[in-house]
Amino acid sequence: MQYTAEHEWVRTPGEHDGSVRVGITHYAQDALGDIVYVSLPELGTRLEAGSTCGELESTKSVSDVYAPLTGEVVARNESLDATPELVNNDPYGGGWLFEIVPGNPEELATLLAAADYTATIDAS
In the three-class reduction of DSSP (H, G, I as helix; E, B as strand; rest coil), residue 50 is classed as: coil
User: Can you tell me the distance from the alpha carbon of 50 to that of 68, in angstroms, rounded to the nearest whole number?
Assistant: 6
CATH topology for 2-107 is: OB fold (Dihydrolipoamide Acetyltransferase, E2P) (2.40.50)
Q: pLDDT tens, position by position, for the chain (124 residues)?
A: 999 999 999 998 767 788 999 999 999 999 999 999 999 999 999 999 999 999 999 998 999 999 999 999 999 999 999 999 999 999 999 999 999 999 988 899 999 999 999 998 887 6
Q: How far is CA 16 from CA 96, 101, 124, in A?
A: 14, 8, 35
pLDDT at position 14: 65
Q: How far apart are CA 115 and CA 40, in angstroms?
A: 28
> What's residue 123's pLDDT?
76
Residue 62, beta-bridge partner list: 57
Instruction: Please give the model's pTM, rounded to 2 decimal places.
Output: 0.92
CA–CA separation, 78 vs 30, rounded Å?
22
Per-residue pLDDT, 12 = 83
Contacts of 73 by beta carbon, 8 Å cutoff, 6+ apart:
41, 42, 43, 44, 45, 46, 47, 53, 98, 99, 100
